[in-house]
Amino acid sequence: MSFEPRTRDHVENTIANVVEMAAHKPRTDYSPAAMHPGDELVAFARLAVDVGHPLKNSAQIGFALRADQWGRGLGAEMVGLLLRLGVEQLGVYRIWGARSPHNTASARVMTKAGMVEEGVIRGHIKLASGWRDSVVHSILAPEWEQTR
């Protein structure tokens, strides 16, 4: 992950921010979550549309699953949902995501969804253990349409 474990206060602030962003007009931030029956949160995702530049038409995605949910296809479902939302509903041309170079499961999920590995952003994320690179994957609207 690109972050350390969160405190309860941080999680509460994150949820409050998600609720606030959902009310913005125009909406540029989407944060779906996956729940198990019984209201148990097992995954969280985000699509953030780039704003502020009239020539940009892109969005960034991110997703995280509880460890006991890995390998069950939930990550692929979440990424597919984000790509459909971005391209088909919001008309975004380019969607990208970044992952740890060690996160081969995320690489498989994004590749399976049709995303292409673009390269490495060196020294991208500062963790308690030091600076970490990120590997970027992306998909363009015409590529998404071909996978449909």
pLDDT tens, residue by residue, 99-120: 999 999 999 999 999 999 999 9
The confidence score (pLDDT) of residue 136 equals 97
Tokens of 3: 């972050």
At 1, the pLDDT band (50, 70, 90 cuts) reads very low
At 138, the pLDDT band (50, 70, 90 cuts) reads very high
At 11, the pLDDT band (50, 70, 90 cuts) reads low
Closest CA to 93 of 148, 61, 140: 140
Residue where the block lists tokens 């790509």: 83
At 25, the pLDDT band (50, 70, 90 cuts) reads confident
Tokens of 132: 């970490």
- Average pLDDT of the segment spanning 43-68: 86
Q: Where are the alpha helices (DSSP H) in the chain?
A: 8-22, 74-83, 104-112, 141-147
Tokens of 78: 């979440």
pLDDT, tens only, 70-101: 888 899 999 999 999 999 999 999 999 999 99
C-alpha to C-alpha distance for 92 and 83, rounded to whole angstroms: 9
Q: Does residue 34 have a pLDDT over 70?
A: yes
Mean pLDDT of the chain, nearest integer: 87
**Using an 8 Å Cβ cutoff, are 56 and 50 in contact?**
yes
Query: How much is the pTM?
Result: 0.85
Phi, psi of 60 (to 5 degrees): -110, 140
Residue 135, phi-psi category: left (phi > 0), alpha (psi -120 to 50), beta (remainder): beta
CATH class of 8-147: alpha beta
Tokens of 114: 């049709």
The 3-state DSSP class for residue 102 equals coil
Q: What are the distances in angstroms from CA 101 to CA 48, 112, 120, 135, 140? A: 22, 17, 8, 6, 22
